């Protein structure tokens, strides 16, 4: 059954005294994915992809807009009565059918970037309902520079946006080399999909390396892996921040462009620990310069709005009224008052006052 509603309907209902949230509540008692404005998705199938890794297949409701391969979505799920949100890279599989791949890192610490993934991996069942966002992000073929050679570098679950790009029709007949690193061979995802993709595109070459197992090529990334680069090569890396830094070091002098998406925030690199005051929504806290603002506020028992925890989705953006902060990903300093900063990737350089947008 398909329902066609739009935002104007919410407006009309509101005008005659029917609150959209109330309408949603009552209709969702019978149709759990219904909403006039929000996006809910029903889990249709769950497949074990690799060790501690599952692929979740889902269908979103009618509010989900056009998805472009390479984009992200925010997934929200209630854990112990608290909504937790994280960024994932979906793959479109057919008409209104998508998948995300999640890893169980066996963590119950909310500050851990894999907290939600672990919970989803352990608790989701066919029929479970997730709330998701509209797709966003620019790691798409329309935004990637044109070239005669693309080199994809994936570390662990950083493989997910590359599967989305490779299954797109726009990847056909492109010269693409995928280097994919995992810790152990039983952690390799998408083996069957890789076989189909290489059969469809003879110019697609896929190399898989297990870091803790003997291989013919050096296990950790070295210049040997990139001896084929030219000054026209486009290198794209996705994975932990340390992995991305290593790939950039190895390819910076040889490739035309380097693009990256980190799946973790690198540690704050300061010579000595210092403490500063952080005034947040009228209350003052003393925090270390060695933690991000998001982590620091969570350690004080607060729950600021956040999503990816990696500086991608901008859900945690706040206004810095005064003081100085530094972006842990880019090293860029925020020196101006009333500047917008992201809590998940910012740390203090002085006493700071911030407030929610």
Q: What one-character-per-residue DSSP string does 87-114 give?
A: EE--EEEETTEEEEEEE------TTSTT
Residue 98 located in a structural domain? yes
SS3 of 267, please? coil
Same domain, 167 and 92: no
pLDDT at residue 346 tops 50: yes
Residues 105 and 166 in one domain: no
Residue 13 lies inside a defined structural domain of this protein = no
Task: Give the three-state DSSP class for 132.
Answer: strand
- Give yes or no: residues 163 and 239 share one domain: yes
β-strands 176-182, 150-155 pairing: parallel
Last residue of a domain, one of 203, 238, 262: 262
The CATH number for 45's domain is 2.40.30.10
Looking at the structure, do residues 82 and 169 belong to the same domain, yes or no?
no
Based on the fold, state whether residues 213 and 308 are members of the same structural domain.
no
Does 159 share its domain with 258?
A: yes
Domain extent for 325:
275-356
Total domains in the chain come to: 3
Encoded tokens for 13: 């209902």
Same-domain check for residues 159 and 244: yes
Residue 88 maps to a domain:
yes
Give yes or no: residues 159 and 252 share one domain: yes
Within a domain: 29: no
122-173 pLDDT, tens digit each = 999 999 999 999 998 889 999 999 999 999 999 998 999 999 999 998 888 8
198 lies in the same domain as 282: no
Cα separation, 116 vs 87, in Å, equals: 10
pLDDT in tens, 286-334: 998 888 898 888 888 888 888 777 777 788 889 999 999 998 877 889 9
pTM, to two decimals: 0.77
| Bridge partners, residue 327, by sequence | 346
> Is 267 inside a domain boundary?
no
Helix (H, G, I), strand (E, B) or coil at 70: coil
Q: Quick one: 168 and 246 in the same domain?
A: yes
């Amino acid at each position: 059954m398909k329902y066609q509603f739009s935002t104007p309907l919410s407006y009309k209902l509101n005008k005659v005294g029917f609150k959209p949230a109330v309408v949603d509540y009552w209709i969702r008692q019978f149709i759990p994915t219904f909403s006039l404005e929000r996006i809910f998705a029903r889990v249709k199938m769950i497949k074990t992809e690799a060790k501690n890794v599952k692929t979740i297949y889902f269908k979103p409701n009618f509010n989900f807009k056009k998805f472009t391969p390479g984009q992200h979505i925010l997934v929200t799920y209630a854990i112990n009565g608290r909504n937790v949100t994280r960024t994932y890279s979906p793959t479109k599989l057919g008409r209104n059918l998508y998948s995300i791949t999640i890893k169980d890192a066996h963590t119950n610490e909310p500050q851990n970037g894999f907290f939600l993934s672990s919970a989803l991996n352990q608790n989701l069942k066919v029929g479970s309902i997730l709330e998701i966002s509209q797709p966003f992000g620019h790691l798409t073929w329309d935004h990637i520079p044109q070239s005669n050679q693309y080199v994809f570098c994936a570390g662990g679950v950083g493989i997910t946006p590359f599967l989305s790009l490779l299954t797109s029709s726009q990847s056909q007949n492109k010269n693409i080399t995928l280097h994919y690193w995992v810790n152990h061979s039983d952690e390799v995802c998408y083996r069957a999909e890789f076989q189909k993709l290489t059969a469809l595109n003879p110019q697609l070459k896929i190399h898989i390396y297990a870091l803790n197992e003997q291989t013919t090529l050096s296990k950790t990334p070295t210049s040997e892996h990139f001896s084929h680069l030219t000054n026209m090569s486009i290198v794209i890396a996705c994975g932990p921040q340390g992995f991305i830094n290593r790939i950039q070091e190895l390819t910076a002098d040889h490739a035309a462009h380097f693009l990256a998406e980190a799946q973790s925030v690198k540690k704050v690199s300061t010579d000595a620990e210092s403490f500063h005051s952080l005034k947040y929504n009228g209350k003052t806290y003393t925090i270390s310069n060695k933690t991000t603002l998001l982590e620091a506020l969570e350690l004080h028992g607060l729950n600021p709005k956040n999503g990816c925890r990696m500086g991608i989705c901008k859900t945690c953006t706040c206004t810095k009224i005064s003081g100085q902060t530094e972006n842990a990903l880019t090293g860029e300093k925020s020196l101006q008052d009333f500047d917008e900063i992201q809590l998940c990737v910012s740390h203090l350089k002085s006493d700071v006052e911030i407030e929610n947008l």
